[in-house]
């Protein structure tokens, strides 16, 4: 039996979590910095009265969350490993974020995807602000993928993969403070209800 790879999922997860993770898990109305994730007040000296907490400085006219997302623009590379079947392969991704928050994610991966040949590179677009509440992105490989920011990272769900072998995919992604991206994924095969394959992935900025 050919081993089902998970490199396409990894690339998508990698790109999106770089944006979602940079938001610091903050939402409107909190005092959490969208850039550093820090909270609290700061004083000019040890004897001065603490000043009110203020939002991080952002480029005029640009939402601070979009500003934080733009810090993730660049090239990334890493590796995925299917721990159930022992397959592995390289992956690369690039991210661009426009002033209006539109994220363009381009990805190219090596190895097998769902036990088939390596698919062509894919380009996905979505809004950086939309990921906070949840947004659906259309993928040629995964069908409709729901991206949603979660505590400490991102949850990705593809409930109806357009494949005769794969039913659904669930991915949990985490962003490290050192700029690395890592996570886990689970695959449920078509016609099954239990997890049939699991894997891990990791990558970093070039």
pLDDT surpasses 80 at 7: no
Q: Which of 81, 80, 82 is nearest to 196 (CA)?
A: 82
pLDDT tens, position by position, 143-200: 999 999 887 678 999 999 988 899 999 999 887 777 778 889 999 999 999 999 999 9
Confirm whether pTM is higher than 0.85: no
Strand partners, 154: 149, 173
Q: Max alpha carbon distance in the chain (Å)?
A: 70
pLDDT at 59: 54
> Residue 79 burial by CB count (10 A; 0-12/13-18/19+): exposed, middle or buried?
middle
pLDDT at 87: 87
User: How far apart are alpha carbons 22 and 36 in whole angstroms?
Assistant: 8
Condensed to tens digits (0 to 9), the pLDDT of residues 26-73 reads 333 333 223 233 333 222 233 444 444 444 444 556 788 888 888 778
Give the pLDDT of residue 46.
36
In degrees and rounded to multiples of 5, residue 49 shows phi and psi of: -70, 130
Which phi and psi angles does 6 have, rounded to 5°? -135, 25
For position 24, what pLDDT does the model report?
Answer: 38
Q: Collect all residues with Cβ–Cβ distance below 8 Å to 9 and sequence separation of at least 6.
A: 142, 156, 158, 169, 171, 185
Quickly state the pLDDT bin for 122 (edges 50, 70, 90): very high
> What domains can you pick out in the chain, each with its CATH number?
7-25+65-205 (2.40.128.20)
């Amino acid at each position: 039996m050919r081993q089902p790879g998970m490199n396409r999922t990894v690339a998508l997860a990698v790109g999106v979590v770089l944006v979602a993770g940079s938001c610091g898990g903050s939402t409107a109305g909190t005092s959490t910095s969208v850039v550093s994730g820090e909270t609290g007040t700061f004083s000019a000296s040890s004897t001065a009265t603490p000043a009110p907490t203020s939002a991080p400085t952002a480029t005029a006219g640009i939402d601070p969350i979009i500003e934080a997302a733009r810090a993730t623009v660049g090239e990334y590379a890493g590796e995925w490993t299917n721990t159930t079947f022992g397959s592995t392969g390289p992956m690369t991704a690039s991210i661009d974020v426009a002033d209006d928050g539109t994220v363009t994610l381009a990805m190219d991966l090596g190895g097998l995807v769902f036990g088939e040949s390596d698919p062509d590179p894919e380009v996905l677009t979505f809004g950086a602000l939309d990921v906070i509440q949840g947004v659906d992105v259309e993928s040629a490989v995964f069908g409709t993928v729901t991206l949603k920011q979660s505590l400490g990272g991102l949850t990705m769900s593809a409930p109806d993969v357009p494949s005769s072998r794969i039913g659904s995919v669930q991915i949990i992604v985490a962003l490290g403070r050192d700029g690395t991206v890592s996570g886990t994924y689970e695959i449920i095969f078509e016609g099954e209800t239990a997890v049939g394959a699991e894997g891990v992935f990791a990558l970093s900025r070039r």
